[in-house]
Homo-oligomer: A and B are copies of this chain.
């Protein structure tokens, strides 16, 4: 499988949603589904679903559709959800805590192995069963334990240095909740920026425009 013929980012961004919907269908006991049925449920075109899935190989069967369990498994594999990975959290404030507690990491193959905060008064406390360490220990810990991914829940000002340190220690993936944009200085790093305030501002725009119709395309 995995044809790897230049998969576009647009397709990748839809895969988790497919995975989610297929999980729901599985819960409901649905065994097979056609691209048309799925398209109605997900509010997109059947053509897009077929096109997307076809990037990775023929998971469907003509006249039948797609087997829900199998397709979900395939997408999970494409997303590498079966891989075992370790993750550290930088920043144990409100947001960091919530992410650590709210996300079911094991479900996506991750294990939370370290939590760091520059506020030394937090050192020793635990979040999600993991002891909070001082940021001073960050470099030593990473060189030793080699985490695969780092979650950044820190203010903008500290972020640049932390990223630099982590890159030096070989961390190449970042789930970035900070207001700092990790950019192309590190071309081999994988970055997902979660800019909550950007999302809120987008909503502010949409709120006003949503009534007036025909002003927004796509």
Contact = CB atoms under 8 A, between A and B. Distances in A.
Contacts of A216: 6-9, 12
A144 to B, nearest CB: 20
Interface stretch (A31-39, A59-67, A97-105, A130-138): A97-105
A58 interface: no
Contacts of A15: 201-202, 205
Contacts of A192: 199-200, 202-203, 206
Given A94-B98, A199-B175, A206 B218 contact: no
B10 A218 contact: yes
State how many copies of this chain the complex holds: 2
Contacts of A204: 79-81, 83, 85, 108-109
Interface residues of A, number: 70
A189 B208 contact: no
Interface in A1-56: 4, 6-10, 12-13, 15-17, 19-20, 42-43
A194 B190 contact: no
A181 B17 CA distance: 10
A67 to B, nearest CB: 21
A108 B200 contact: yes
A202 to B, nearest CB: 6
Contact of A20 (B43, B175, B179, B184): B179
Given A8-B218, A9-B218, A98-B99, 10 more contacts: A6-B214, A7-B217, A12-B206, A19-B201, A20-B197, A43-B184, A94-B101, A108-B204, A192-B203, A194-B196
12 contacts: A7-B215, A9-B217, A15-B202, A16-B195, A20-B195, A42-B181, A43-B183, A81-B201, A192-B199, A192-B200, A192-B202, A194-B194
